[in-house]
């Protein structure tokens, strides 16, 4: 039974303020149970709080980390620290810009998208491929922790009631590329934070405990702050592309499209391209996937590409509804 999730008198004062002791213990227990149901041989290890906690709880045999070559990716540094702390084997590689560009058609073909988040997906792909090359058949990921515990900066800015509604909406519509990429590569992806029982538990936690003093995932961090290194548990949230250094690909790819090509495409193609990079990905999509699946009469049409869109995000082109509109759509 989940008890006392909205706060209470049984609190302690830690480095970042008061927290419910019972809730912290419940969270640790629920996550341990979820990990047991999602056991894997390895873990995609970023060195952030989510995968750091999973590595602590699961103690997998091997952690896998990737980064864009010469990018000074912070994930390499932090994943090394948590690996040494836990005594688990750590495998890491750096992929080149040329390798990333050569791999784009395969990733776009698997995911059937030309979303601008492609550098994120490339990093995940290379990490999963590294696991396969090391004969690891299953890996854990931290998918879902940011969505459940308000890990993104834009979520931290929402009022508590709106945040709660938005998180519940996300839990009904989330979509993670790691599962699709894993199946294509023959590596099973297991996601403890998406365990049904754990999700139910997390949804009942007050939003005031998920965000405190401008810090997202507060209760998750607090629950493990005495168990893993402080620099890991309180590490600032960074998207995969920043942690892996692959954010540099945005500028590189954008420069590969001329102004003439882009202006011509905007006139000839019935898609509202966000920028040159967006067009670059679409061009590959058009070659390896083909036509965009148009929304049916009973579906909401994406204003960017014309595909069917969910209540807040188009999986085909990456268009997202304004944040306020997204959470206000929840009844």
Instruction: Locate 56 and state its tokens.
Output: 């602590």
The model's confidence at residue 9, banded by pLDDT at 50, 70 and 90, is: very low
SS3 of 232-276: HHCCCCCCHHHHCCCCHHHHHHHCCCCHHHHHHHHHHCCCCCCCH
* Cα 37 from Cα 31, distance rounded (Å): 10
Question: What is the predicted pLDDT for the residue at 252?
Answer: 96
Q: Tell me what pLDDT residue 5 has.
A: 45
What rounded mean pLDDT belongs to the chain?
91
Same-domain pairing of 144 and 283: no
142 in a structural domain: yes
Tens-digit pLDDT profile for residues 122-173: 999 999 999 999 999 999 999 999 999 999 999 999 999 999 999 998 898 8
Same domain membership, residue 92 and residue 129: yes
Q: What is the pLDDT of residue 325?
A: 59
**Which CATH number goes with the domain that contains 236?**
3.40.50.620
Neighbouring residues of 325: CB distance < 8 A, sequence distance ≥ 6: 312
User: What residues have CB less than 8 Å from 104, skipping those under 6 apart?
Assistant: 118, 122, 281, 284
For residue 326 the two structure tokens come to 């997204």
65-107 per-position pLDDT tens digit: 999 999 999 999 999 999 999 999 999 999 999 999 999 999 9
Indicate if 229 and 316 belong to the same structural domain: no
Residues 159 and 79 reside in one and the same domain: yes
**pLDDT range class, residue 4, cuts 50, 70, 90:** very low
224: left (phi over 0), alpha (psi -120 to 50) or beta: alpha
Which range (23-27, 175-179, 282-286, 324-328) has the least confidence?
324-328
CA distance 265 to 93: 36
Which residues is 67 bridged to in the sheet? 94
Q: How confident is the model at residue 21 (pLDDT cuts 50, 70, 90)?
A: confident
Going by the DSSP 8-state scheme, the letter that residue 229 receives in this structure is -
**In the chain, which residue ranges form alpha helices assigned H by DSSP?**
21-37, 49-58, 74-86, 97-111, 118-133, 145-149, 153-156, 160-173, 177-185, 196-203, 207-210, 218-224, 230-233, 240-243, 248-254, 259-268, 276-288, 323-328
Q: Cβ contacts of residue 197 below 8 Å, gap of 6+?
A: 30, 33, 34
Residue 281: is its pLDDT beyond 90? yes
With respect to residue 41, please indicate whether it lies within any of the assigned structural domains. yes
304 CB neighbour count, 10 Å cutoff: 18
**What phi, psi does 10 have (nearest 5°)?**
-80, 80
Are 240 and 309 in a shared domain? no
- Check: CB of residue 151 under 8 Å from CB of residue 202: no
Please tell me the distance from the alpha carbon of residue 43 to that of residue 213, in angstroms, as a whole number: 31
Crossing angle of the two packed helices 21-37 and 196-203, in degrees rounded to 10: 160
Instruction: Tell me, yes or no, whether 157 and 57 share the same domain.
Output: yes
The region that residue 217 occupies, defined by phi over 0 for left and psi between -120 and 50 for alpha, beta otherwise, is left
Residue ranges making up the domain that contains 305: 292-331
Cα angle, residue 244 at apex, residues 240 and 246 outer, rounded to 5°: 90
3 pLDDT more than 50: no
Domain for residue 5, yes or no? no
Structure tokens at 279: 């067009």
Give the whole-angstrom CA distance, residue 283 versus residue 141: 30
Q: Is residue 118 domain-shared with residue 191, that is, in the same domain?
A: yes
Report whether 189 contacts 179 (CB < 8 A): yes
User: Is residue 40 a contact partner of residue 137, using CB atoms and an 8 Å limit?
Assistant: no
Do 285 and 296 fall within a single domain?
no
- Both 189 and 318 in one domain: the answer is no
Tell me the three state secondary structure of residue 95.
Answer: strand
High-pLDDT (> 70) share of the chain, %: 91
96 and 224 in one domain? Answer: yes
- Place 7 in a pLDDT band, splitting at 50, 70 and 90: very low
SS3 39: coil
- Give the integer Cα–Cα distance in Å for 42 and 141: 9
Burial of 102 (C-beta count, 10 Å sphere; 0-12/13-18/19+): exposed
> Are 186 and 283 within one domain?
no
One domain for residues 210 and 310: no
Across the range 200-227, mean pLDDT stands at 96
């Amino acid at each position: 039974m989940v008890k006392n999730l909205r706060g209470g008198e049984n609190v302690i004062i830690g480095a970042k303020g008061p927290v419910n002791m019972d809730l912290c213990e419940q969270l640790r227990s629920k996550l341990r149970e979820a990990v047991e149901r999602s056991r894997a041989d390895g873990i995609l290890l970023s060195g952030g709080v989510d995968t750091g906690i999973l590595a602590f709880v699961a103690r997998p045999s091997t952690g896998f980390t990737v980064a864009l070559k010469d990018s000074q990716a912070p994930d390499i540094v932090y994943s090394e620290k948590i690996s040494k702390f836990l005594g688990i084997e750590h495998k890491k590689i750096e992929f080149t810009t040329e390798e990333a560009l050569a791999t784009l058609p395969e990733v776009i073909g698997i995911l059937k998208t030309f979303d601008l988040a492609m550098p994120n997906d490339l990093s995940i792909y290379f990490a999963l491929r590294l696991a396969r090359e090391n004969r690891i058949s299953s890996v854990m990921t931290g998918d879902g922790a940011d969505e459940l515990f308000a890990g993104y900066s834009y979520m931290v800015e929402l009022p508590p009631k709106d945040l709660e509604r938005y998180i519940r909406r996300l839990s009904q519509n989330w979509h993670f590329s790691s599962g699709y990429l894993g199946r294509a590569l023959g590596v099973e992806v297991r996601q403890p934070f998406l365990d049904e029982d754990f999700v139910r538990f997390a949804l009942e936690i007050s939003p005031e405990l998920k965000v405190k003093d401008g810090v997202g995932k507060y209760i998750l961090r607090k629950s493990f702050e005495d168990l893993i290194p402080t620099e890991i548990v309180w590490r600032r949230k960074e998207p995969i592309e920043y942690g892996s250094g692959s954010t540099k690909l945005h500028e590189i790819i954008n420069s590969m499209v001329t102004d003439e090509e882009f202006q011509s495409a905007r006139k000839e193609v019935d898609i509202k391209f966000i920028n040159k990079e967006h067009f670059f990905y679409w061009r590959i999509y058009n070659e390896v996937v083909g036509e965009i699946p148009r929304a049916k009469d009973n579906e909401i049409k994406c204003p960017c590409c014309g595909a069917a869109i969910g209540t807040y995000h188009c999986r085909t082109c990456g268009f997202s509804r304004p944040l306020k509109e997204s959470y206000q759509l929840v009844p």
